Amino acid sequence: MKGKIIGIIGPMFSGKTTTLMREYDKTKLVGIPIIFKPKIDDRYGNDEIVTHDKEKRQAINCSTSNRIFKYLCDNKLVTDIFIDEVQFFDDDIIEIIDWFRLEGKNVYFSGLNQDYLGKPFYFKNSNKNIGELLCMCDDTKHLSARCSICGEPASKTHLKNQEFNNDDEFNKSPVLLGNNDTYEARCYKHHNKD
């Protein structure tokens, strides 16, 4: 049996978590799926993933990717894993996803492919970015949102009410959690423009 890796990527407000939930719901009919999320993401409840429309599913909150590995070692019957906001994990997540697929099981992840500067999203304290994971995918769904200025398809996350600043080299992928007070979706033309 051969496992697969499916990536769901796009900017904020593109429906990534909703898409992940739909895949989870389908899998639940035929397998034993489980959802993981990074602990950093506590914008909503701790033991669930929640869409911007407030739809919820139960999820295991993990502070490190190694906790996902340990959980899967203890729960061998799990057939499919779903990882929300994968970009907020440490880079061991890459190896764990690869290992789970080698076990003949399936991995679905959702995440930001770019930070608000439009750069590839780097894993926590790492030189590796989301691109490493995207190369391993058997299929990717690249979602788009709507540009808040022109209404055209938007591939970028725009940080509102803040000076555009990309000379902070230490902070490769600035992690600012937020909602629609902090961010909005923009097309390429309107990204980081007033």
Vertex 47: Cα angle to 45 and 51 (nearest 5)? 55
State the DSSP code for 84: S
Is the CB of 86 or the CB of 187 nearer to Zn ion? 187
Query: Beta-carbon neighbour count of residue 85 at 10 Å?
Result: 21
Stretch near Zn ion under the rule CB under 5 A, chosen from 64-72, 111-119, 136-144, 182-190: 182-190
Stretch near Zn ion under the rule CB under 5 A, chosen from 61-69, 106-114, 166-174, 183-191: 183-191
Query: Beta-carbon neighbour count of residue 183 at 10 Å?
Result: 19
**Binding status of residue 145 toward Zn ion by CB under 5 A:** no
**Binding status of residue 137 toward Zn ion by CB under 5 A:** no
Tell me how far, at minimum, the Cβ of 89 lies from Zn ion, in Å.
31
Q: Which helix (H) or strand (E) holds 132?
A: helix 130-135
Q: Which of 78, 134, 149, 175 binds Zn ion (CB under 5 A)?
A: 149
> What's at 95, amino acid-wise?
E
**Binding status of residue 187 toward Zn ion by CB under 5 A:** yes
Is the CB of 13 or the CB of 100 nearer to Zn ion? 13
| Active site residues per annotation | 85
**Binding status of residue 147 toward Zn ion by CB under 5 A:** yes
**Binding status of residue 105 toward Zn ion by CB under 5 A:** no
Return d(Cα 85, Cα 77) in angstroms, integer.
24
Sign (positive or negative) of CA dihedral 70, 3, 60, 110: positive
Q: Name residues whose C-beta falls within 8 Å of residue 114's C-beta, 6 or more positions apart in sequence.
A: 11, 120, 121, 155, 156, 157
Q: Which of 32, 136, 150, 176 binds Zn ion (CB under 5 A)?
A: 150
Which residues make up the interface to Zn ion (CB under 5 A)? 147, 149-150, 187, 190
